[in-house]
A and B are shown apart, each in its own frame.
Chain A
Amino acid sequence: EVQLVESGGGLVQPGGSLRLSCVVSGFTFSSYCMSWVRQAPGKGLEWVANIKQDGSEKYYVDSVKGRFTISRDHAKSSLYLQMNSLRAEDTAVYYCAKIPPVSEWYFDYWGQGTLVTVSS
């Protein structure tokens, strides 16, 4: 059974940092592109970042470029999102998601999400 479990969310002040983690199981983590997607309270889904299987290529939505870094650790079957210089508009539930082995990007499995609140 495929499982993705996020952690690391919480309350942080504007300008602060937070590191999200996503531990996966039920599939060969190193063989799949992975992603972070967020959802602000009461709002729609917003893609945040993707990382290729070997971590060599990373892609970000413009609003987080230079502030967020996606990474992965195959030994720990874990995906990470380092978030720096956080803003109120980064407040959201952050989901990690698995991308199937196809040429286009979509998400076949999602975690339960972790809530990040940026507020003073």
Chain B
Amino acid sequence: SYELTQPPSVSVSPGQTASITCSGDKLGDKYACWYQQKPGQSPVLVIYEDTKRPSGIPERFSGSNSGNTATLTISGTQAMDEADYYCQAWDSSSVVFGGGTKVTVL
């Protein structure tokens, strides 16, 4: 079965850039999306189709996907961006999530 791998944690200083990677076999040939989940809340879609932002998502969130790696970048990270982030793709009529990355804003 298809697997997506994320680092368990990423730390970033306020105002700096956070990059979260998501690795999978030929992931660049698929669409990747990203969700933000804060404690006690439901996930929120922040990036879809590799690079697109849903309405209401700040411009500081951006995405890319090439080769075996998709990346979520948070530019000018704010304290409110502290959360768990999950990548997701679909393969062979199955949805796959990465294990999640906890972003800590120090």
Given contacts A45-B35, A104-B31, A105-B90, contact A95 B42 (CB under 8 A): yes
B72 contacts the other chain (CB 8 A)? no
B99 contacts the other chain (CB 8 A)? yes
A47's partner among B44, B54, B97, B100 (CB-CB below 8 A) is: B97
Residue of B nearest to A62 (CB): B1
What are the 10 closest A-B residue pairs judged by CB atoms, nearest first?
A47-B95, A110-B42, A105-B90, A44-B100, A106-B33, A45-B97, A104-B31, A59-B93, A44-B99, A105-B95
- Against B, the Cβ 8 Å flags (1 = close, 0 = not) of A70-108 are 000000000000000000000000010000101011111
Q: Tell me which residues across on chain A come within 8 A of B88, comparing CB atoms.
A: 45, 106-107
Residues of B within 8 A of A (CB): 1, 30-31, 33, 35, 37, 42-45, 48-49, 54, 84, 86, 88, 90, 93-100
Instruction: Judge whether B42 and A50 touch: CB under 8 Å.
Output: no
Q: Tell me which residues across on chain B come within 8 A of A62, comparing CB atoms.
A: 1
Instruction: Judge whether A45 and B45 touch: CB under 8 Å.
Output: no
Residue of B nearest to A111 (CB): B42
B86's partner among A44, A100, A111, A112 (CB-CB below 8 A) is: A44
Instruction: Judge whether B95 and A108 touch: CB under 8 Å.
Output: no
Residues of A within 8 A of B (CB): 35, 37, 44-47, 50, 59, 61-62, 95, 100, 102, 104-108, 110-113
The answer for the CA separation of A59 and B96 in the assembled complex, in Å, is: 13
Instruction: Judge whether A47 and B43 touch: CB under 8 Å.
Output: no
Shortest A2–chain B CB gap in Å is 12
Q: Tell me which residues across on chain B come within 8 A of A113, comparing CB atoms.
A: 42
Residue of B nearest to A57 (CB): B93
Shortest B79–chain A CB gap in Å is 23
Q: Tell me which residues across on chain B come within 8 A of A44, comparing CB atoms.
A: 84, 86, 97-100
Given contacts A45-B97, A47-B96, A59-B93, contact A108 B86 (CB under 8 A): no
